[in-house]
Structure 1
């Protein structure tokens, strides 16, 4: 049990939020990160106590083509700006996790520039995978190399090279020493060599107590990556998909089946397979856009905050932003926002208000962080489960139907319950609860 088990994350793509230029000409330093400082109070008001921030080190464009791991992107500011930002987050009791783009670099990274200049004589020619001086690439360098996803902009590092491993270890130690960060999210972890991941885990085990290492893994048997030797947590893409399609298709069986499969991987032990749950992020369409019935925003997020795993909200989605991916660019998913445009939303927008309630409830109800999951009722349109630990119990009920729905559920020997979202009170009869849930709604029931 550590801080990250009880965390609700807020996710910011800083180059987008801060309205940085799409391309970096490296000509000057603009202190745009300071403009995001007011968002710290907003994050706190939403009940989030963790911030996933990144990418934000020097790069040529979108941040995932890193050119200097030791320097804040000049479009965002300098290292003192990042140090100050993390300090202000810590003063607000918010942990900070940064993007670790350690699978590949950009073409302006010093090692790659040296290969361009010195070719076969470069001391860095083995820092990248399969550099071939008898071939070519789309930039006409006169040599080829392995890249990420078929994109020559992203040059794949050689994870078997001892100098590369030592360099990445130094980067991680520098981030902790210089900025006092609390964790790293590994980009493209699903294509990284397992021995390389083990090396990174050994480094993070030594840098700071309870340091978090989460990896981006799209598909697969997650317990191959999450174990005592590699990742501590993994991105939960199966649940992401099930959350929206399970509502669009009125099919709660999809969500329940997804949870069962993940629980089977973990032996129904939430601490053995830690999951980073999200309804959207910087790479996928906004959840509000994906939902056919926008009222399903409510049960989607009740599930996000109550199913096993730690929840995350992508900046702006609490305001029900609409955005779809466009072929060839993710810029629509990563917009500049002015917080002043949304200053009254937590009080006056029912969806933003819901997420704030859920964030604070998750801090209050420990069973939502550690409780054992048990399915109680499942139909296409109604779903109920419990989370229980020690003497603490939470019963969750959600309804994706456009009509009210009744639930008859076990009371687990408890007599009086309160709905933490609606403040409704229930009394058990013969150790059963008769519950009515409005259309496209849900509730978290706690014994009084």
Structure 2
């Protein structure tokens, strides 16, 4: 039996932004914004998503990745009980919940770092951070130096070579499972985390909950180094992300197809997306806004575990600046859902349901069938069936003659209410509108 995450369609939530929470945590006022987040659950379910990646969530100073307390939800969002209730509602609606694990660094207000500030070399936590050195002072005035994430000294790096640090973090994960009943973790900055630490995490979490999912944020490198039987189940597929928007902007489907072929050995388990909380919105990256329909058709049917970043279903735009990500993480009121709904929303909803209901799209083998700069068709193989996706990035309609790698007489167009297309001499012919696509179901003849 396949694991839940192999057939998941994720909805990515950045709660501090989407609820309009204060940018700074004063440490005094606690507000229940999970009430508002709960109003998103029916929308997420109607969109066809069956899993949520939500984060950051735990007590922090500003953007959520400068953790103060791993065992307390951020007071700007609500209490532990509020978050536990949110997850229980998700589970009641058949939605799994994955949270951010920010384990590479902490904030400066984390208890271990504050103890070093106070006791200096007498602190029992002086070896909890990388590069702690009392021969120099940090740029922020600490009486010691330390290694900081990408030179941001408000984010001191934890030392995973210290077994005490690892045991503490595994205790945190067990607390999250026992207290909130989470279903997995997205590891922030997994590309720089210690491999032995992640291997041990895989062993530890396997005992905590069946089918517990570990997904890492990895931008560059050989994804197979992280995704294997001993470490992580999945990583973020930034390569596909880049090839999708670039391939559409340049009318170059060869770039997408090359990327898929290169990653096919591990690609069926990778976490795929077209935008997220760190990247400019896909609606702002595309030169032709009409490409949003085939872009999401591509995302939902290529190998991988697809994810929709909140607001993407309405085609909202947003670009980061060198100093601010706020435009990528806007506040959106649930009262606006109906007014924001558009053709893209309906397409994504239909695609999500197609993804859930067709096992070919979960871990099915990929096969390229037709490829030009502006037209692209590929198959995903089931045991006795196929899903064929046909895409057109040209402004004008195109007629495609697609070879069908299975003995069959007809195909059903799943995006057009069951339209039947004949298969003759091993090929099917389909006319695609400009900037659009089709998803075709084919069952083999007995």
Number of the residue aligned with 2:421: 426
Number of the residue aligned with 1:249: 250
1:228 Cα deviation after fit: 1.2
Contact 1:97-1:181 at 8 Å conserved across structures: yes
TM-score normalized by the length of structure 2? 0.97
Question: In the aligned structure 2, how far is the partner of 1:432 from the partner of 1:123?
Answer: 70
Question: In the aligned structure 2, how far is the partner of 1:225 from the partner of 1:261?
Answer: 16
Question: In the aligned structure 2, how far is the partner of 1:161 from the partner of 1:195?
Answer: 11
Contact 1:305-1:311 at 8 Å conserved across structures: yes
Q: Which runs of 5+ in 1 are unaligned?
A: none
Number of the residue aligned with 1:378: 371
Question: In the aligned structure 1, how far is the partner of 2:423 from the partner of 2:193?
Answer: 52
Contact 1:345-1:353 at 8 Å conserved across structures: no
Q: Does 1:414 align with 2:408?
A: yes
Question: In the aligned structure 1, how far is the partner of 2:442 from the partner of 2:146?
Answer: 60
Contact 2:19-2:333 at 8 Å conserved across structures: no
1:37 Cα deviation after fit: 0.4
1:410 Cα deviation after fit: 2.0
Contact 2:120-2:143 at 8 Å conserved across structures: no
1:34 Cα deviation after fit: 1.6
1:276 Cα deviation after fit: 0.2
Number of the residue aligned with 1:393: 386
User: 1:361-396 CA distances to partner (integer Å, 9 max, x unpaired)?
Assistant: 111111011211000011110000000121121111
Structure 2 counterpart of 1:304, from 299, 321, 345: 299
2:138 aligned counterpart, secondary structure:
coil
Question: In the aligned structure 1, how far is the partner of 2:313 from the partner of 2:229?
Answer: 34
Number of the residue aligned with 2:57: 56
Question: In the aligned structure 2, how far is the partner of 1:299 from the partner of 1:179?
Answer: 37
Question: In the aligned structure 1, how far is the partner of 2:222 from the partner of 2:147?
Answer: 25
1:51 aligned counterpart, secondary structure:
strand
- The equivalences for 1:78-117 within 5 A come to 78-117=79-118
1:78 Cα deviation after fit: 0.5
Structure 2 counterpart of 1:440, from 413, 429, 435: 435
Number of the residue aligned with 1:353: 346
Q: Does 1:402 align with 2:381?
A: no
Question: In the aligned structure 2, how far is the partner of 1:117 from the partner of 1:431?
Answer: 75
User: 1:259-299 CA distances to partner (integer Å, 9 max, x unpaired)?
Assistant: 01101x43x8x3xxx10000000000000010000000011
Q: Cα RMSD between the aligned structures?
A: 1.0
Question: In the aligned structure 2, how far is the partner of 1:99 from the partner of 1:425?
Answer: 44
Q: Mean Cα displacement is larger for which, 357-366 or 105-114?
A: 357-366
Number of the residue aligned with 1:282: 277
Question: In the aligned structure 2, how far is the partner of 1:344 from the partner of 1:182?
Answer: 32
User: 1:42-63 CA distances to partner (integer Å, 9 max, x unpaired)?
Assistant: 0000000000000010000000
Number of the residue aligned with 1:240: 241
Number of the residue aligned with 1:293: 288
Contact 1:11-1:51 at 8 Å conserved across structures: yes
Question: In the aligned structure 2, how far is the partner of 1:222 from the partner of 1:138?
Answer: 35
1:203 Cα deviation after fit: 1.3
Contact 2:408-2:442 at 8 Å conserved across structures: yes
Aligned length: 440
1:142 Cα deviation after fit: 2.0
Question: In the aligned structure 1, how far is the partner of 2:150 from the partner of 2:207?
Answer: 32
- The equivalences for 1:316-327 within 5 A come to 316-327=311-322
Contact 2:51-2:96 at 8 Å conserved across structures: yes
User: 1:149-194 CA distances to partner (integer Å, 9 max, x unpaired)?
Assistant: 1100111000000110100010000000000000000000000111
Question: In the aligned structure 2, how far is the partner of 1:282 from the partner of 1:357?
Answer: 24
Question: In the aligned structure 2, how far is the partner of 1:295 from the partner of 1:114?
Answer: 55
Q: Which runs of 5+ in 2 are unaligned?
A: none
1:345 Cα deviation after fit: 4.8
Number of the residue aligned with 2:4: 3
Structure 2 counterpart of 1:367, from 360, 363, 381: 360
